[in-house]
Amino acid sequence: MVLTEKQRDELHSAVYEYLLGLGEGFRNSATVFAEEAKLGDDHRSTSAGLLEKKWTSVVRLQRKVMELEQKLQQAEADLRSAPGTTGANKKQGDSRQLPRGPPRQTLVGHRSPILALAVHPVYSIVASGSEDATIRVWDYESGEYERQLKGHTSVVQDVSFNQTGSMLVSCSSDLSLKLWDFQTYECVKTLRGHDHNVSCARFLPSGEQIVSCSRDTSIKFWEVSTGYCLRTLCGHTDWVRSLAISSDGTLLASCGNDQTAAIWQLESAPSIGSNAQANQPLMILRDHTHVVECVAFAPSKKRQAPSAPGSQVSSTDAFSVSNEDPTKGALAMAEISNGPSQGELIATGSRDRSVKLWDVFSGLCLMTFSDHDNWVRGIIYHPSGNFLISCSDDRSIRVFDIKNRRCIRAIDEAHAHFVTSIAMSSTSAVLVSGSVDKTIHVWECR
C-alpha cells in the first residue's frame, strides 16, 4: 500500500507525538526521528493522539470483521444444510426456526457451574439452578438479572415451572424439593422423603402433583397442596437421572445410571405398600452402553416420520434395534409414517455420546445419532416435533432432523466449557443454554 505525501506527513507527525508521549526515555528517539523525517513545526496541532486513535479504531474494526466472518460462516453452513424452499417446505414456515450463533445475550452472575434451566411458559423469564445452591431469575430478552431465590443448602440439580408459570419447583443435593410461589418469589413448601440427591422434578400437566427422581433409585409423586408423598416407584437399579412426562399426562419416562430408560403408565401407578409385582415399568428401553442422562417425549400430534431405510444418512444408522427382528423395526417405522394414535416417541441422550429415538409401545430403537464427541447432557424436542436439539460436554449444541435422520446444524464452541442444559421458549423463538463456565447464553431461532 502506497501512502500519499500528505498521509505520510500525518503518519510521521503521529509517530513523533507518540514517542514524545512515552516520556524522557524516548525524547532523543523522537528528536532523531523528527530530523530524519524532516518534520516541520506545524505537526503538533493536528497529530496529538492521532496514532492511538487510529490504532484503537483498527482493533475495533478487526473485532467487527471477525464477528461478521463468524456470522457468514454460520449462514453458509445453514445454507448448505437447508432443504429446498418449495412445495411442502414452504408450508413449514416458523416450524423451521432453529437456534444459530452468535448468542444474542450472555447472562452472568452464578458463582458455580449451571446445571438446570427452565423457561417461563408466559413471560420472557428463565430460571437457572447452579452448584452455588441458588436459583437466579433473568429476563432473557433484555439480559437483565431479576432476583435470586435462596433456600437450598447444596447444589440445585433441577428447576421446572408448572403449565401456568405460577409455581416453580426445584430439587437439590440437600435431599429436598422446594415449591416457590412465582408471584411472591417465596418458598411455600419444602418436600422431604428422598434418601439421596434429588436429580429431577417435574409438574404433572394438571399441576396438582409433582414427580421427582433421586440417586436413591426411586421416583416419588408429591401432592402440591399438602406436600405429602403420595406414591413411590422403584423400578430402576441405580441413580435415576431425569424424567419426562407425555403431553397428555398418561406416561412417564425415566432414565439413569443403569443405562436404561423406563416407561411408566401413570394412570396405574401403584401406591406405597401395594403389590410389588405392580411396581413395574410398562417398557424398559435397553440399547445405550453408558449412563442415560436425559429423556424427552415428542410433542403430541407433531411427530415427524423418519425417512425410509434406503435414504442417505449422515449419522449412525437407524434401526439399531436391540434383541429384536429388524423387520419389526421397519414395521414400527411404517406405522409411525402412517400416524397411528398410539405412535408415541421418546428421545434419550447418553454418556455413550449418542442420541436415540424410540417407539414407546414396541420398545424399538428407531435411530441413533452419534455426532457428539462427548457426553450428551441435555435433549429437547423442537416445538414442531420435527427436530431434536441436544447439548453436550463437547461444548456444542446440535440440531437433528428426524425425518432425514441427520444433524443439520451444529453450534460448535457454544460455551467455553461443558454445556449442561438447554431449554426452549414456547412463546418466542429463543433457546437458552447453561454451562460449567457459569454463563447462560440466549440463542435466537430463525
Examine the pLDDT at 189 and tell me if it is beyond 90: yes
Tens digit of each residue's pLDDT (9 = 90 or more) over 391-437: 999 999 999 999 999 999 999 999 999 999 999 998 889 999 999 99
Examine the pLDDT at 319 and tell me if it is beyond 60: no
- Give residue 13's pLDDT: 81
- Give residue 273's pLDDT: 41
Q: What is the mean pLDDT of the chain?
A: 83
Tell me how far apart the alpha carbons of residues 408 and 446 are, in angstroms, rounded to a whole number: 14
Q: Is the peptide bond before 383 cis (omega within 30 degrees of 0)?
A: no
- Classify domain 5-67 by CATH architecture: Up-down Bundle (1.20)
Examine the pLDDT at 309 and tell me if it is beyond 70: no
> Taking CA 356 as the corner, what is the angle to CA 425 and CA 269, rounded to the nearest 5 degrees?
75
State mean pLDDT over 76-104: 62
Compare 79 and 223 and report the one with higher pLDDT.
223
* Selection from 6-20, 127-141, 311-325 with the highest mean pLDDT: 127-141
- Give residue 283's pLDDT: 92
Q: Are 135 and 127 in contact (CB under 8 A)?
A: yes
State mean pLDDT over 22-38: 80
Compare 294 and 27 and report the one with higher pLDDT.
294
Q: Are 105 and 143 in contact (CB under 8 A)?
A: yes
Examine the pLDDT at 325 and tell me if it is beyond 80: no
Q: Which of 168, 163, 138 lies closest to 151, judged by CA? A: 168
Tens digit of each residue's pLDDT (9 = 90 or more) over 265-292: 986 444 444 434 457 899 999 999 999 9
- Classify domain 96-445 by CATH architecture: 7 Propeller (2.130)
Tell me how far apart the alpha carbons of residues 168 and 159 are, in angstroms, rounded to a whole number: 7
- Give residue 275's pLDDT: 39
C-alpha cell of residue 276: 410389588
Q: Where are the alpha helices (DSSP H) in 27-162?
A: 27-37, 44-47, 50-81, 88-92
Compare 246 and 26 and report the one with higher pLDDT.
246
* Beta bridge partner(s), residue 135: 129, 149
First vs last Cα of the chain: how many Å apart?
Answer: 41
Look at the block and give the residue holding cell 416457590.
180
Examine the pLDDT at 88 and tell me if it is beyond 80: no
Q: Rounded to the nearest 10 degrees, what angle do helices 27-37 and 5-21 cross at?
A: 170
Q: Using 50, 70 and 90 to split pLDDT, how confident is the model at 63?
A: confident
Q: Using 50, 70 and 90 to split pLDDT, how confident is the model at 136?
A: very high
Tens digit of each residue's pLDDT (9 = 90 or more) over 364-373: 999 999 999 9
Examine the pLDDT at 55 and tell me if it is beyond 50: yes
- Give residue 180's pLDDT: 97
C-alpha cell of residue 255: 432414565
Residue ranges per structural domain of the chain: 5-67, 96-445
C-alpha cell of residue 171: 430439587
The mean-pLDDT minimum among 333-337, 341-345, 441-445 falls in 333-337
- Give residue 317's pLDDT: 36
Residues with Cβ < 8 Å from 24, sequence gap 6 or more? Answer: none
Give the predicted TM-score (pTM) of the model.
Answer: 0.73
